[in-house]
């Protein structure tokens, strides 16, 4: 699996340290120059006092603008930043949001600013460049931090695989696993020992599992008096787990410990891709599912007794209208339907249209889990299901599952990226 490339070029060494330019308050021209700077180095910096912006001109000729207020707010000096926590200790009540600048100079590889109260801030050019406010720079930073670009797939998906022991042992393997989990949404981890506890080990490679009413981890088996349809031998239609919570688990692990005598094949669908097809083919249904809040319910006893209720949109979109989360489990969709009576039929029509698209054979990836396989997937994106099964003597189907949240998974991904890059990787 290809590793992530940084969206901006690797840092270029800056020119030798010497005073390169000076600007005093109100002056429109530079005191020093001309000089050369490396492409990512600072050629010039000047205060545009009218607009209260610092203009930085880079070695490659590009320019960036930084509001004075933002610069003062982010002063990295030990009075303004608790360096051991990399956290701001300058309170907002001490921030003058209309501050001017007394002087700017570029020296010793730093952009130095003297503020009207003589406080001084020194900014690292590379740090500034990453925080440029242009829309292209902000997009690059967004992708670097959140990796929101996905690769959509259908039934022909060749599910990415990773090796269990390698993930535990090797940072590069762990990073490749998490990058594929984020971009593709599903990765088969192979070679786990066939005993309980492996989804916990995998969660602890990242951080910690997410506790729910079904426990720290949970056993998917055909159980008498099952408190969930998953704990029967019946088929599970395509669903995401736990839409009865307002914050459903972001990531799910399912470890196969034992297969059935017959049946029990697994199904997976890219819910974002299916939602995009719905938007194209039936915009009215898409509008309905992205706006109607549907009631979900889950009542019973497991880790302790519970009575969970939620209202979720089947298709969540972000502030730019892009699909961001699927919330759908037909088993826990409540009979309470909080809609004016005239909207009930249109809602069912819309839901049916989405379910028909997700179930198209060209959208459904089918696979069979073998003991030692762990399927890891994005529970906000991938709808999953299973065919019904029949247990036999010595063939009792058993999966162990665990949930995690994306914040913790993304945190591990960023930490791994740093350590892999630091050791000379890309």
Residues that bind ligand OGA (CB under 6 A): 220, 230, 236, 241, 254, 266, 384, 386, 399, 401
Cα Dmax for the chain: 88
Q: How far is the CB of 59 from ligand OGA (least distance, A)?
A: 54
Stretch of 212-220, 317-325, 348-356, 411-419 lying at the interface with ligand NM2 (CB under 6 A): 212-220
Whether the Cβ atoms of residue 68 and residue 96 lie closer than 8 Å to each other: no
Contact between 314 and ligand NM2 per CB under 6 A: no
Find the shortest distance in angstroms from Cβ 333 to ligand NM2. Answer: 10
Considering the complex, what minimum distance in angstroms separates the CB of residue 70 from ligand OGA? 46
Residue 214 interacts, among Zn ion, ligand OGA, ligand NM2, none and using kind-specific CB cut-offs from 5 to 8 Å, with ligand NM2
Which of the choices ligand NM2, ligand OGA, Zn ion, none does residue 68 contact, using the CB cut-off of 5 to 8 A by kind?
Answer: none
Q: Which letter, b or e, does each residue of 354-393 get, where b requires 16 or more Cβ atoms within 10 Å of its Cβ?
A: bbebbbeeebbbeeebeebbbbbbbbbbbbbbbbebebee
Residue among 19, 48, 65, 77 that touches Zn ion (CB under 5 A):
77
**Residue nearer to ligand NM2 on the CB measure, 111 or 374:** 374
Which residue in this structure is represented by tokens 């949240």? 405
Q: Which does 310 bind (CB under 5 to 8 A by kind): Zn ion, ligand NM2, ligand OGA, none?
A: none
Q: Looking at beta carbons only, is 41 or 248 nearer to Zn ion?
A: 248
Handedness of CA 225, 227, 231, 236 (dihedral sign): positive
Q: Is there a cis peptide before residue 34, judged by omega within 30 degrees of 0?
A: yes
228 sits near ligand NM2 (criterion: CB under 6 A): yes
Q: According to the binding rule CB under 6 A, does residue 242 interact with ligand NM2?
A: yes
Q: How far is the CB of 350 from ligand OGA (least distance, A)?
A: 24
Nearer to ligand NM2, 36 or 299 (CB): 299
Q: Spell out the SS3 assignment of 292-350.
A: CEEEEEEEEECCCEEEEEEEEECEEECCCCCEEEECCCCCCECCCCCCCHHHHHHHHHH
Q: What is the rounded CA–CA span in Å between residue 118 and residue 128?
A: 21
Report what 399 binds from Zn ion, ligand NM2, ligand OGA, none; CB cut-off 5-8 Å by kind.
ligand OGA
The position carrying tokens 């979109």 is 317
Residue 266 contact, options ligand NM2, Zn ion, ligand OGA, none, Cβ 5-8 Å cut-off depending on partner type: ligand OGA
Count of beta carbons in the 10 Å neighbourhood of residue 132: 20
> Is the CB of residue 195 less than 8 Å from the CB of residue 219?
no
- Write out the two tokens for 387: 């065919």
28, exposed or middle or buried, with CB in 10 Å at 0-12, 13-18, 19+? exposed
329 binds ligand NM2 (CB under 6 A): yes
241 contributes a contact to Zn ion by CB under 5 A: yes
Report the nearest approach of ligand OGA to the CB of residue 254 (Å).
6
Site residues for ligand NM2 per CB under 6 A: 214, 218, 220, 228, 230, 241-242, 298, 329, 332, 401
């Amino acid at each position: 699996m290809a590793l992530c490339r940084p969206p901006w070029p690797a840092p270029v060494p800056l020119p030798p340290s010497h005073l390169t330019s000076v600007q005093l308050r109100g002056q429109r021209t530079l005191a020093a120059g001309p000089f050369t700077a490396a492409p990512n180095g600072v050629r010039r910096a000047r205060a545009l006092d009218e607009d209260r912006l610092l203009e930085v001109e880079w070695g490659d000729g590009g320019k960036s603008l930084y509001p004075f207020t933002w610069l003062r707010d982010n002063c990295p000096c030990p009075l303004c930043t608790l360096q051991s926590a990399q956290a701001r200790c300058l309170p907002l009540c001490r921030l003058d949001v209309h501050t001017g600048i007394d002087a700017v100079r570029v020296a010793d590889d730093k952009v130095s600013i003297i503020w009207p109260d003589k406080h001084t801030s020194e900014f690292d050019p590379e740090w500034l460049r990453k925080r440029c406010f242009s829309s292209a720079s902000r997009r690059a930073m967004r992708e670097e931090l959140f990796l929101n670009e996905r690769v959509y797939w259908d039934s022909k998906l060749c599910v990415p695989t990773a090796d269990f022991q390698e993930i535990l042992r090797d940072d590069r393997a762990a990073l490749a696993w998490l990058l594929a989990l984020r971009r593709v949404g599903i990765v088969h981890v192979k070679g786990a020992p066939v005993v309980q506890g492996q989804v916990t080990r995998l969660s602890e490679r990242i951080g910690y599992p997410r506790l729910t009413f079904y426990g720290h981890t949970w056993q998917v088996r055909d159980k008498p008096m099952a408190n969930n349809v998953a704990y029967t031998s019946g088929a599970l239609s395509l669903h995401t787990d736990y839409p009865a919570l307002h914050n459903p688990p972001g990531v799910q692990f399912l470890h196969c410990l034992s297969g059935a005598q017959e049946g029990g094949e697994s199904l997976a669908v890219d819910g974002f891709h299916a939602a995009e097809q719905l938007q194209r083919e039936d915009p009215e249904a898409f509008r309905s599912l992205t706006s109607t809040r549907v009631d979900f319910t889950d009542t019973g006893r497991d880790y302790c007794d519970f009575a969970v209720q939620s209202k979720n949109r089947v298709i969540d979109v972000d502030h730019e209208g892009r699909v961001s989360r699927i919330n759908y489990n037909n088993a826990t969709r409540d009979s309470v339907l909080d809609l004016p009576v005239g909207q009930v039929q249109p809602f069912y029509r819309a839901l049916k249209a989405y379910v028909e698209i997700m179930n198209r054979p060209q959208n459904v990836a089918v696979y069979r889990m073998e003991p030692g396989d762990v399927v890891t997937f994005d529970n906000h994106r991938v709808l999953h299901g299973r065919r019904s099964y029949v247990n036999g003597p010595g063939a009792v189907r058993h999966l162990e599952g665990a949930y995690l949240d994306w914040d913790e998974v993304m945190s591990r991904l960023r930490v791994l990226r740093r350590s892999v890059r630091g050791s000379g990787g890309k």
